[in-house]
Amino acid sequence: MDVIEELKAVRGRDIPYSRVLSSMCTVPHPVAAEAHSLFIETNLGDPGIFVGTMELEKKVISMLGRLLGNKNAAGYISSGGTEANIQGIRAARNLKKVDKPNIVIPKSAHFSFEKIGDILGVEIRRAKLDENYCVDVSEVEKLVDDNTVALVGIAGTTELGQVDDIKELGKIAEDQNVFLHIDAAFGGLVLPFLDEKVPFDFEVRAVSSITVDPHKMGMATIPAGGILFRDETFLKALEVETPYLTTRFQYTLTGTRPGTGVASTYAVLKHLGYDGMKGIVRECLRNTRTLVEEMKTLGFEPVVEPVMNVVSFHARDASRLKDELYRRRWVISTIREPEAIRMVIMPHVNEEMIKEFISDFRQMLIR
Ligand code: 0PR
């Protein structure tokens, strides 16, 4: 068998996005896919060779920075949100030199912070949440001490899409003289397009770094994460010498790294523009509302009214529901606190797909 035929068969065993309601990834925008293939051989690990691609990355960072309240932001396109979060915390740790560094994160933080504790040797302190599943700011305050290097706020939690009170976290960060990293891996490309402005970005003075992932709501190709810093000094804190390369220093975590994420991010932002992106977000939110209404007819109530296109519904036996749906080739996910089933309404989710899902789910529940 021809190898390509073999590969097509392999892909045929994957579940198509048209059955996926659990993922923060989506089908890349067609313009992203085209841009990706143009940059397939680029390696930003050696920017002296890929001069044009490097310039494009600077442009992309400045576009994302402008969207997030700071046109002078410094940063780069990483391999997803995990790397972005690692680098955000690593910069804070390197800049605020203490013997036994700790960071204070919300209990709702993504599991990438688990890895961060392990890799960076930073103690992870988890602050409790309030009744809306946002971080309880008074709990954060209790956990901060002289060894705290950074606080973390989440703008779009993985499980519920909730946004922490970044302004209040900012006050603590300023009082205590610690950095404030915002994990807006998901929300960073949703919140700027909402009619109601939620403060979460560099406009909050204390915010020092932001994770914002183009491969999630930016419809860029995987793996395009983004780490943005308030200014260049943070990148300097990440630098190592690269004696034999075309450039002398490297601030990224990975060495060899693709320019495809840079190109696909640029393509989507440039092609759609602010209004185009806003249209995509509006559509996702409309579909989220449709899903919530339909789920209510099945007797499911949302844990919180969704602010974004992530929603969880209270459910007894959430895991069993997830497994049974999976057997019917529908992918959803679950959360444990509170027990609920979770869905993410990405750009590939349309009204027809929701109707089909609800119809299958209804049948499953009747049996
Ligand atoms: N920060 C937040 C708030 C996230 O939700 C995620 C990923 C990350 C950081 C880490 O980003 P990377 O996965 O790019 O390193 N959240 C998704 C999740 O855990 C990731 C995901 C995406 C999982 C698609 C499954 C899937 O099909 O749900």
Separation between Cα atoms, residue 183 and residue 88, nearest integer Å = 9
How far is C-alpha 348 from the geometric centre of its chain's CA atoms?
Answer: 17
- The pick from 77, 158, 333 for probing ligand 1's pocket by mutation, whose C-beta has the most ligand atoms within 8 angstroms, reads 158
Q: CB of 265 within 8 A of CB of 49?
A: no
What is the four-CA torsion angle of 269, 274, 276, 281, rounded to 10 degrees? 100
Q: CB of 69 within 8 A of CB of 201?
A: yes
Q: What integer pLDDT is reported at residue 91 of this predicted model?
A: 98
Q: What integer pLDDT is reported at residue 244 of this predicted model?
A: 80
Q: CB of 154 within 8 A of CB of 109?
A: yes
Separation between Cα atoms, residue 89 and residue 116, nearest integer Å = 8
Q: Which residues have any ligand 1 atom within 6 Å of their CB?
A: 22-25, 80-82, 85, 110, 112, 154, 158, 183, 185-186, 213, 225
Give pLDDT tens digits for 11-53: 999 999 999 999 999 999 999 999 999 999 999 999 999 999 9
Give pLDDT tens digits for 166-217: 999 999 999 999 999 999 999 999 999 999 999 999 999 999 999 999 999 9
Q: What percent of the chain has pLDDT over 70?
A: 100
Give pLDDT tens digits for 137-172: 999 999 999 999 999 999 999 999 999 999 999 999
Shortest-distance atom of ligand 1 to CA 331: 27
Q: CB of 211 within 8 A of CB of 85?
A: yes
Q: Check whether 367 has a pLDDT greater than 90.
A: no
β strands within 184-309, DSSP E: 207-211, 225-229, 240-241, 249-250
Shortest-distance atom of ligand 1 to CA 109: 3
Ligand 1 center–CA 243 separation, angstroms:
35
Separation between Cα atoms, residue 362 and residue 297, nearest integer Å = 9
Neighbours of 14 (CB within 10 A): 8
| Long-range pairs for 336-340: beta carbons < 8 A, 24 or more residues apart | 338/303, 338/314, 339/314, 339/315, 340/303, 340/312, 340/313, 340/314, 340/315
Q: What integer pLDDT is reported at residue 31 of this predicted model?
A: 98
Of 322, 323, 289, the C-alpha closest to 305 is 289
Q: CB of 53 within 8 A of CB of 41?
A: no
| pTM greater than 0.90 | yes
Two tokens, residue 46: 């050696």
DSSP 43: B
Residue keyed to tokens 């994420």: 261
- The pick from 89, 112, 181, 211 for probing ligand 1's pocket by mutation, whose C-beta has the most ligand atoms within 8 angstroms, reads 112
Ligand 1 center–CA 274 separation, angstroms:
24
Q: Check whether 360 has a pLDDT greater than 90.
A: yes
What is the predicted ipTM?
0.98
Q: Check whether 243 has a pLDDT greater than 90.
A: no
- The pick from 110, 189, 311, 346 for probing ligand 1's pocket by mutation, whose C-beta has the most ligand atoms within 8 angstroms, reads 110
